[in-house]
């Protein structure tokens, strides 16, 4: 399988052999589609996070639960992404949004990677229109049980639980979208979103080791709604410390359940 993160030179060399996916999405309500229409990498398809990479929001499942495998497969096929395609995804926020698509594809056995540096790393011209790709064949694959975690797993102190949100949201100082502020008791705050580029693998490994994460350590990653948490999981792969598990409901699910305790300081 290709590495979880690739550079612009890697993409340039293989441009005709991969599908490029634009996964821009904004918490403040701006339109990722509008950003795509203003300019995107040549040939890139736009992947709507809300419609393709998530199921319907529910109190029990959170804001961005994983979609049914059949719905995800239909979405990929309609975009012209097939089982045999290699996908390189990007956004304009350090990869924290595009990581959701990459994680979903890699978790189900498909070749996919993040473009390191996102759209800003591309030094060629952008384009405003892209002819649609013809529909492709994409078979549904169940979400692997060993890559997905539940709220009970997040509560289990046998796991290292990583909160990928901003430090302010972790500490309960500010949260624009969730009903209760704070974090899962015992969770460790680590927002690995880069300032445009990923850290070197050795530096990433040192960050994870500081959290108590080494190869074989059981890790659960969560964020606000299970999107940016995927970035930490890809960073784990890049660092060579394992794959970890995604808690898809994340804080949006946990905070909606009054039975779940909330912490607001470092543990």
Q: What is the pLDDT of residues 143-180, one digit of tens each?
A: 999 999 999 999 999 999 999 999 999 999 989 899 89
Between CA 100 and CA 120 the distance in angstroms is 19
Residue burial 235-252, b: 16+ Cβ < 10 Å; e: rest: bbbbbebbbbbbbbbbbb
Looking at domain 145-254, its CATH architecture is: 3-Layer(aba) Sandwich (3.40)
Q: Please report, for the chain, the start and end positions of each structural domain, with discontinuous segments joined by +.
A: 5-121, 145-254
Alpha carbon distance, N-terminus to C-terminus of the chain: 37
List for the chain the helix, strand, coil content (%; round to 5): 30, 15, 55
| Dist. CA 213–CA 239, nearest whole Å | 11
What positions carry a catalytic annotation? Answer: 223
Please determine, for residue 142, whether its predicted confidence score (pLDDT) is greater than 90: yes
% of the chain at pLDDT higher than 90: 90
Kindly state the percentage of the chain with pLDDT values over 70. Answer: 99
d(CA 158, CA 219): 9
Confidence of residue 45 (pLDDT cuts 50, 70, 90): very high
**Interval 191-246: pLDDT, tens:** 776 677 899 999 999 999 999 999 999 999 999 999 999 999 999 999 999 999 99
Q: For 167, list phi and psi in degrees, rounded to 5.
A: -60, -35
Beta-ladder partners of 113: 88
pLDDT value of residue 194? 66
pLDDT number for residue 95 = 94
Domain pair 5-121 / 145-254, same fold: yes
260: which 2 tokens?
A: 């779940």
The fold for domain 5-121 equals: Oxidized Rhodanese; domain 1 (3.40.250)
Categorize the per-residue pLDDT at 185 as very low, low, confident or very high, splitting at 50, 70 and 90: very high
Count of positions (residues) in the chain: 267
Q: What pTM did the predictor assign?
A: 0.96
């Amino acid at each position: 399988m290709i590495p979880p993160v690739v550079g612009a030179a890697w993409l340039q060399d293989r441009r005709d052999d991969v599908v490029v996916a634009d996964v821009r999405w904004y918490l403040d309500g701006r339109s990722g589609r509008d950003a795509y229409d203003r300019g995107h990498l040549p040939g890139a398809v736009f992947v709507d996070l809300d419609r393709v990479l998530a199921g319907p929001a529910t109190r029990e499942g959170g804001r961005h639960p994983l979609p049914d495998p059949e719905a995800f497969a239909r979405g990929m096929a309609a975009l012209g992404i097939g089982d045999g395609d290699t996908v390189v995804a990007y956004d304009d926020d350090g990869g924290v949004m595009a990581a959701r698509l990459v994680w979903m594809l890699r978790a189900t056995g498909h070749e996919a990677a993040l473009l390191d540096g996102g759209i800003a790393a591309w030094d060629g011209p952008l384009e405003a229109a892209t002819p649609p790709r013809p529909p492709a064949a994409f078979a549904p694959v169940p979400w692997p049980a060993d890559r997905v975690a539940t709220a009970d797993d997040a509560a289990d102190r046998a796991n290292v639980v990583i909160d990928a949100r901003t430090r302010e949201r972790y500490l309960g100082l500010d949260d624009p979208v969730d009903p209760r502020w704070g974090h899962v008791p015992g969770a460790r705050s680590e927002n690995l979103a880069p300032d445009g580029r990923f850290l070197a693998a050795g530096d990433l490994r040192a960050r994870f080791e500081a959290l108590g994460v080494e190869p074989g350590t059981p890790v659960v990653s969560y964020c606000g709604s299970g999107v940016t948490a995927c970035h930490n999981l890809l960073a784990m792969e890049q660092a060579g410390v394992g794959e970890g598990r995604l808690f898809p409901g994340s804080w949006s699910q946990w905070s909606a359940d009054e039975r779940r305790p909330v912490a607001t300081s470092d543990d």
